[in-house]
């Protein structure tokens, strides 16, 4: 067996390890963050279970730390009190980004982790099977229920050789994205192997597993080896280490070979993580903003690397440079060894350990200016500026470019200085900002602010349906496009009626009013519909507006699951049908529920032209029952 198969087989509840078959696995750990956590815990509460049934569950505050009104602070109180009541660890605001902190303090080789954030596979760097999912799936895992998924193919990404000076782990994952695209990992687990592993530390591996989410992959995983052991020992968690590696005769469904010694510094140009070029192809382009941080590149090693470049230099006068540590541990350590002083002396602005600019929570770039970021996503407008020009690169390229004021290939700059940071023998360990569960929780009162509204649900699937196509969109529509984030909208995450006013606001601001006036309807999408974040608000809010069906050429995994969970029927159509469907056309689904119950496809027709079409639903028997019930919560309550 390979590593992925070993992890799945030891947690298999039902199904077989045959790609394409539905399986169920037990979940050891869960994590939530505050942008998705409020919904997940409201859903968990609705199940009436007195305590979580996982080995470990953690609630993190890292997304909505900007408190411009009462909403975020109220939700933080809700999350802390609900964690105390139900046996959940609570990571306080300022302690760090969930993925960085979880890797440091909780990730455990050989276990499974389900998180309500698409970058949960970050923990795969420590030999976990870590998967991002919607909040309702995480709530069910906390209730002790298995997680259902289609058995992925396993892709062996074989790394050979050693990185050259000026090339980093960020360049490895950018190369994978360049080759495979944002759709290349759909239905797959990316498993890294080869002799190149021995030189990659766990923080470097986390850069790769984290950004594997941009491939659309179910997860990314590294073996648990001596590098893993060294990391856990330095974190004072040696007892959590266990070896986990592929068998010598392990087979894989596909293989990608990357020769590390042939890689060059890479950069993802606007506005997709797979629009990858060599840095030297865009070298010399003026830069106005540089942001170092986010869950993919904010470790102690990343910050030390940036500090080494910035030392005895000044940030270019035309550039605004921000540094966002990934955790309080990383911030503490760069403070102790004077790297923070070098960063401040260079003219950088230091932000708190949180997601910050990566999710549009501050630091929106100037109009028409290039923003160079070490983040994982550069979807259009995600930064908070319309028509933004966001490039993704390594901390090394970012730091050098902040000094020169233009995109700069770091290879020559770092000659003699080195571009690697050794793993420290000991990390500074202080878990005082992680509040453990209470032993006696019966007297805990959950605090609810006025912004927290009841979770909406829809009724059972209609026997027949006539509905208008409210919106038609193209390929690679993201959950940011469907349900935008940012400082204005994210505080409404626990108030579905309010946040629904922003559905598709980037693409069509009139969508909410048109959907409500039509009494709901249908959305038509292209390939990879719903890529990106795991936010289930991109399904709940459209459901609240009355969207019943999404017709698309293909769906991203997490978003399709979220649509099903909230009773929106995802239907796949071929390209010619997609081309024929027009916005505002009236569609009739004469035997909708019957087709879902009894057939692999659903028949529908254009009321105006009379043309009949067929769409495939691809639902398992379990998913059929969810859709027929009008959503997973309805089904759970019925049981």
Task: Confirm whether 575 is domain-assigned.
Answer: yes
Instruction: Give me the pLDDT at residue 459, please.
Output: 94
Does a structural domain hold residue 565? yes
Same domain, 392 and 539: no
> 472 with 395, same domain?
no
Helix (H, G, I), strand (E, B) or coil at 396: helix
Clarify whether residues 218 and 278 are in a common domain: no
Last residue of one domain, picked from the residues 379, 408, 437:
408
Please give the pLDDT value at position 323: 97
Residue 439 inside a domain? The answer is no
For residues 115 and 251, membership in a common domain is answered with yes
In angstroms, the CA 506 to CA 113 distance is 33
Dist. CA 41–CA 35, nearest whole Å? 12
Q: What is the CATH number of the domain that holds 511?
A: 3.20.19.10
Question: Which helix (H) or strand (E) covers residue 467, if one does?
Answer: strand 465-472
Q: Evaluate whether residue 274 is within a structural domain.
A: yes
Can you point out the beta strands (E) in 260-366? Answer: 266-268, 276-278, 289-292, 320-323, 349-350
pLDDT at 418: 53
Q: Are residues 270 and 258 in the same domain?
A: no
Do 203 and 322 have their domain in common?
A: no
Distance, CA of 94 to CA of 353 (rounded, Å): 6
Q: How far apart are CA 37 and CA 117, in angstroms?
A: 9
- Residues 311, 335 within the same domain: yes
Helix (H) or strand (E) holding 521, with range, is strand 521-525
**Could you count the other beta carbons within 10 Å of the beta carbon of residue 466?**
14
Whether 257 and 274 share a structural domain = no
Q: pTM score > 0.75 for this model?
A: yes
Sign of CA dihedral 183, 172, 558, 97: negative
Domain end residue (candidates: 237, 262, 287)? 262
Q: For residue 426, is it within any domain?
A: no
Q: Give 245-269 as a DSSP string.
A: ---TT---SEEEEEEGGG---EEEP
Number of domain units in the chain: 3
List, in sequence order, the alpha helices (H) in 389-522: 395-404, 410-413, 479-482, 496-499, 511-517
Q: Answer yes or no: do 595 and 632 share one domain.
A: yes
CA angle 595, 598, 602 (to 5 degrees): 25
CATH code, domain carrying 77: 3.30.499.10
Kind and range of the H or E run holding 141: helix 135-142
Domain end residue (candidates: 212, 238, 262):
262
Same domain, 403 and 500: no
pLDDT at 348: 98
Q: Can you say whether the dihedral through the CA atoms of 460, 461, 462, 463 is positive or negative?
A: negative
Tokens in use for 98? Answer: 């969930």
- In terms of residue numbers, what domain contains 179? 3-262
Q: Is 396 part of any domain?
A: yes
Does residue 500 form part of some domain?
yes
Residue 453 lies inside a defined structural domain of this protein: no
Q: Which residues of the chain have pLDDT under 50?
A: 417
Q: Do the Cβ atoms of 414 and 165 come closer than 8 Å?
A: yes
Shared domain check, 76 and 186:
yes
Both 351 and 320 in one domain: the answer is: yes
């Amino acid at each position: 067996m390979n590593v992925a198969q070993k992890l799945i087989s030891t947690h298999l509840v039902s199904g077989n390890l045959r790609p394409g078959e539905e399986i169920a696995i037990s979940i050891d750990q869960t994590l939530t963050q505050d942008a998705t956590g409020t919904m997940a815990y409201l859903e968990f509460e609705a199940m009436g279970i007195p305590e979580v049934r996982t080995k470990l569950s953690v609630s993190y505050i890292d997304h909505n730390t900007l408190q411009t009104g009462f909403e975020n602070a109220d939700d933080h109180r809700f999350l802390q009190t609900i964690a105390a009541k139900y046996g959940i660890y609570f990571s306080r605001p300022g302690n760090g980004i969930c993925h960085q902190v979880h890797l440091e303090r909780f990730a455990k080789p050989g276990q499974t982790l389900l998180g309500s954030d698409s970058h949960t596979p970050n923990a795969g760097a420590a030999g976990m099977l870590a998967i991002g999912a919607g909040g309702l799936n995480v709530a069910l895992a906390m209730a002790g229920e298995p997680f259902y998924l289609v058995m992925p193919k396993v892709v062996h990404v074989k790394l050979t050789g050693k990185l050259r000076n000026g090339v980093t782990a960020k360049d490895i994952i950018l190369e994978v994205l360049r080759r495979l695209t944002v759709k290349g990992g759909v239905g797959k687990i990316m498993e890294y192997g080869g002799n190149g592993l021995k030189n990659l530390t766990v923080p470097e591996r986390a850069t790769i597993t984290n950004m594997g989410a941009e491939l659309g992959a179910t997860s990314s995983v590294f073996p648990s080896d001596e590098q893993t052991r060294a990391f856990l020992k330095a974190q004072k968690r040696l007892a959590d280490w266990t070896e986990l590696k592929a068998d010598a005769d392990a087979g894989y469904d596909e293989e990608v070979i990357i020769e590390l010694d042939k890689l060059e510094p890479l950069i993802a140009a606007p506005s997709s993580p797979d629009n990858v070029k060599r840095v030297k192809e865009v070298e010399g382009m003026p830069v106005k903003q540089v942001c170092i941080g986010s869950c993919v590149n904010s470790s102690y090693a990343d910050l030390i690397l940036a500090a080494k470049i910035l030392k005895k230099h000044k940030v270019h006068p035309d550039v605004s440079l921000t540094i966002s540590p990934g955790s309080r541990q990383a911030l503490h350590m760069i403070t102790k060894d004077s790297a923070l002083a070098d960063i401040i002396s260079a003219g950088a602005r230091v932000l708190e350990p949180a997601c910050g600019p990566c999710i549009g929570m501050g630091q929106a770039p100037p109009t028409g200016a290039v923003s160079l970021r070490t983040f994982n996503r550069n979807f259009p407008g995600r930064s908070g500026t319309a028509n933004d020009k966001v490039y993704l690169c390594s901390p090394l390229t970012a730091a050098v470019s902040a000094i020169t004021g233009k995109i700069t290939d770091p290879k020559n700059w770092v000659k003699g200085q080195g571009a690697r940071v050794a793993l420290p023998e000991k990390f500074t360990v202080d878990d005082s900002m992680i509040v453990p569960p209470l032993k006696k929780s019966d007297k805990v009162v959950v605090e609810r602010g006025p912004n927290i509204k009841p979770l909406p649900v829809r009724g059972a699937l209609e026997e027949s349906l006539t509905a208008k196509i409210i919106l038609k969109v193209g390929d690679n529509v993201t959950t940011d496009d469907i349900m935008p984030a940012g400082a204005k909208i994210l505080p409404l995450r626990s108030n579905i009626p309010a946040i629904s006013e922003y559905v598709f606001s980037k693409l069509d601001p009139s969508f909410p009013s048109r959907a409500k006036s039509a009494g709901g309807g249908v959305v038509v999408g292209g390939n990879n519909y719903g890529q990106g974040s795991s936010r289930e608000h991109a399904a709940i809010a459209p459901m609240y507006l009355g969207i019943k069906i999404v017709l698309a050429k293909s769906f991203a995994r997490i978003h399709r699951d979220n649509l099903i969970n909230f009773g929106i029927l995802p239907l796949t159509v071929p390209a010619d049908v997609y081309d024929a469907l027009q916005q505002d056309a009236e569609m009739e689904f004469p035997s909708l529920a019957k087709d879902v119950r009894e057939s692999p496809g659903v028949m529908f027709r254009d009321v105006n032209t009379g043309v009949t079409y067929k769409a495939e639903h691809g639902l398992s028997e379990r998913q059929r029952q969810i859709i027929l019930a009008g959503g997973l919560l309805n089904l759970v309550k019925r049981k």
